[in-house]
């Protein structure tokens, strides 16, 4: 992807448009040009403008000399650095990442209609659904989120659900160059808090629902909610679609300064869920809006997707997509990897792989998996908790797990914590539960044991990692090992219960 060469004076001019205090240019002539804004010295290429970002673990200013050696043409800093490069000194480097990230990517957002998606659960599914709806409406649409970035038949990996602003604007440039005229952006609360979507304005932003999460970062649930509510300010979005089935969503709908379409089962919902049913073949929802009743179907499995489908419907309508195109789009969108992915069946246990990693999402995933049990079937849950993150959730996860028949406690990547201590915290929520509790610290062995113990009417639910394929038990990312829950489950199904009995099951196992 070729990024435009931007003159130093254009960079200075855009930087001055960011409120916050004096901008001082040290060195560099007006016709000096830079190409690409980079926040990581390890990704600098000749001609880059390197942004010295102060972080929690280190200060980007420490990497200025490294960036210079890698060919950076100039620096963005908030204090003097002893490096022989032109420097633009600003009050806050992080505050410049959006505006300058946009400028140095050629302001791609100006050529796109943008939809933002935030919420504690359902961001990835709803973003994927929206892309399908907008494409069915006839517009090439890009998407960026937890599963990386996609446009047309191309994809790119990302380290974060919502990348840092310079990378995000470069991905939007990549989408525009690939012919996209719409883009859907998953906006995580941490990204909203850290300014990663600065420089973007959304036609519609979607709030998929809320429960406490990421309190390690936000501190309190109020701050967590406020970071999401920030997306529904006029300077960020023109309109909102908000699921009002929980009090925090209702509060947002009541308080947001932009026009809000309310979605859910509530009486006052503008797009109301009138009924639904779900099973291994997919989900069907009956919706009511100001144009009447609409029946939509989707291959997604599980009650958790009912409001995701309703929110995608409401957003498509707001963006002018005809009702029949929305329905066609929803009917064709395949489940995103690791979101209620269904394996096995046809005479073998069903295995469901899901990303649920909060108590409420786990309770919903268990309810969904229970819907897939055959007569008299039991639900086996393979449960862990990621190390070094949101310890406060572990007892709640254990409490939600009480709804299963057999719970297999295991490792989910301890990230340097003591794996047994993590399992012990999960077990607190299970004290006195009717469910049988097994402890198998090795994740592969736990998945295989659960699949082995499951009968043909049973369901094995694997939660916490979904699509993830890297498992880390230390604090050094280089120690990560490959472990894909769906891969391990498929192997266990064949080893313990034989190959798929029918073609479609074989297809599903692929």
Ligand X SMILES: CC(=O)N[C@H]1[C@@H](OP(=O)(O)OP(=O)(O)OC[C@H]2O[C@@H](n3ccc(=O)[nH]c3=O)[C@H](O)[C@@H]2O)O[C@H](CO)[C@@H](O)[C@@H]1O[C@H](C)C(=O)N[C@@H](C)C(=O)N[C@H](CCC(=O)O)C(=O)O
Q: Which residues bind ligand X (CB under 6 A)?
A: 39-42, 53, 55-58, 60, 63, 160-162, 164, 188, 190-191, 217
CB-nearer residue toward ligand X: 190 or 266: 190
Q: Which of 367, 123, 362 is nearest to 243 (CA)?
A: 123
Q: What is the DSSP letter of 59?
A: B
Judge whether 118 is annotated as a binding position. Answer: no
CB-nearer residue toward ligand X: 58 or 475: 58
Helix/strand/coil for 21? coil
* Residue count (the chain): 510
Rounded to whole angstroms, the Cα distance separating 250 from 266 reads: 10
Beta carbons of 330 and 297 less than 8 angstroms apart: yes
Helix (H) or strand (E) holding 65: helix 64-69
Judge whether 196 is annotated as a binding position. Answer: yes
Rounded to whole angstroms, the Cα distance separating 312 from 307 reads: 8
**Biggest alpha carbon–alpha carbon distance for the chain:** 77
Q: Minimum Å distance from CB 138 to ligand X?
A: 30
Strand ordering across the sheet containing 74-77: 24-26, 87-89, 74-77, 49-51, 37-38
Q: Minimum Å distance from CB 227 to ligand X?
A: 11
Beta carbons of 79 and 61 less than 8 angstroms apart: yes
What residue is closest to ligand X based on CB?
55
CB-nearer residue toward ligand X: 83 or 271: 83
CB-nearer residue toward ligand X: 160 or 226: 160
Please state whether beta strands 154-156 and 379-383 pair in parallel, antiparallel, or not at all (unpaired).
unpaired
Judge whether 120 is annotated as a binding position. Answer: no
CB-nearer residue toward ligand X: 42 or 482: 42
CB-nearer residue toward ligand X: 162 or 410: 162
Q: Minimum Å distance from CB 495 to ligand X?
A: 32
Q: Minimum Å distance from CB 486 to ligand X?
A: 19
Q: Minimum Å distance from CB 38 to ligand X?
A: 8
CB-nearer residue toward ligand X: 61 or 305: 61
CB-nearer residue toward ligand X: 101 or 377: 101
What backbone torsions phi and psi does residue 99 show, to the nearest 5 degrees? -55, -45
Q: Which of 159, 238, 167, 174 is nearest to 198 (CA)?
A: 167
Beta carbons of 203 and 182 less than 8 angstroms apart: no
Q: Minimum Å distance from CB 352 to ligand X?
A: 20
What backbone torsions phi and psi does residue 235 show, to the nearest 5 degrees? -80, -5
Rounded to whole angstroms, the Cα distance separating 356 from 221 reads: 19
Q: Minimum Å distance from CB 171 to ligand X?
A: 13
Judge whether 332 is annotated as a binding position. Answer: no
Q: Minimum Å distance from CB 147 to ligand X?
A: 12
- Tell the burial category of 127 from Cβ atoms under 10 Å away from its Cβ (0-12, 13-18, 19+): buried
CB-nearer residue toward ligand X: 341 or 490: 341
Judge whether 265 is annotated as a binding position. Answer: no
Per residue in 455-469, is it b (16+ CB within 10 Å) or e — as a string?
eeebbbbbbbbbbbe
Annotated binding residues, written as ranges, equal 41, 161-162, 188, 196
């Amino acid at each position: 992807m070729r990024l435009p060469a931007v003159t130093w004076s254009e960079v200075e001019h855009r930087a001055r448009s960011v409120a916050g205090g004096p901008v001082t240019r040290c060195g560099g002539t007006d016709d000096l040009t830079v190409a690409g804004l980079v926040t990581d010295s390890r990704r600098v290429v000749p001609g880059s403008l390197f942004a010295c970002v102060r972080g929690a673990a280190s200060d980007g200013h420490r990497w200025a000399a490294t960036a210079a050696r890698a060919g950076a043409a100039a620096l963005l800093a908030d204090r003097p650095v002893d490096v022989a490069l032109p420097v633009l000194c600003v009050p806050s480097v992080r505050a410049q990442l959006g505006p300058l990230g946009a400028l140095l990517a050629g302001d791609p957002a100006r050529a796109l209609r943008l939809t933002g998606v935030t919420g504690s659960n359902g961001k990835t599914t709803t973003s994927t659904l929206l892309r399908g709806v907008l494409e069915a409406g006839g517009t090439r649409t890009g998407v960026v989120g937890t599963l990386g970035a996609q446009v047309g038949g191309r994809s790119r990996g990302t380290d974060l659900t919502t990348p840092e602003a310079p990378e995000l604007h470069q991905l939007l440039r990549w989408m525009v160059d690939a012919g996209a005229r719409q883009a859907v952006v998953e906006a995580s609360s941490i990204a909203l808090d850290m300014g990663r979507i600065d420089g973007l304005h959304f036609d519609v932003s979607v709030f998929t629902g809320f429960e406490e999460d990421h309190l390690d970062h936000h501190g309190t649930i109020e701050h967590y909610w406020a970071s999401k509510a920030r997306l529904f300010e006029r300077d960020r979005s023109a309109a909102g679609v908000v699921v009002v089935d929980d009090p925090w969503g209702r509060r947002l709908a009541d308080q947001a300064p932009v026009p809000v379409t309310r979605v859910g089962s509530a009486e006052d919902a503008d797009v109301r869920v009138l009924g639904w049913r779900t099973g291994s073949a997919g989900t069907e929802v009956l919706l009511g809006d100001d144009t009447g009743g609409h029946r939509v179907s989707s291959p997604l499995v599980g009650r958790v997707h009912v409001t995701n489908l309703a929110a995608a419907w409401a957003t498509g309508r707001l963006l002018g997509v005809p009702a029949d195109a929305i329905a066609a789009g929803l009917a064709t969108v395949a489940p995103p990897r690791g979101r209620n992915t269904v394996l096995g069946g046809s005479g073998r246990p069903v295995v469901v792989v899901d990303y649920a990693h909060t108590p409420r999402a786990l309770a919903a995933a268990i309810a969904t998996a229970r819907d897939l049990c055959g007569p008299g079937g039991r639900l086996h849950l393979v449960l862990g908790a990621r190390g070094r993150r949101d310890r406060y959730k572990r007892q709640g996860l254990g409490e939600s797990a009480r709804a299963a028949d057999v719970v297999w406690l295991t490792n989910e990547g301890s990230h340097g914590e003591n794996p047994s201590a993590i399992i012990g915290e999960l077990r607190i929520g299970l004290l006195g539960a009717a469910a049988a509790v097994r402890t198998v610290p090795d994740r592969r062995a736990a998945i295989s044991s659960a699949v082995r113990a499951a009968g043909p009417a049973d369901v094995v639910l694997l939660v916490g990692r979904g699509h993830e394929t890297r498992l880390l038990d230390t604090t050094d990312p280089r120690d990560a090992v490959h472990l894909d829950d769906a891969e391990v489950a498929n192997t266990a199904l064949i080893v313990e219960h034989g190959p798929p009995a029918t073609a479609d099951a074989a297809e599903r196992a692929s």
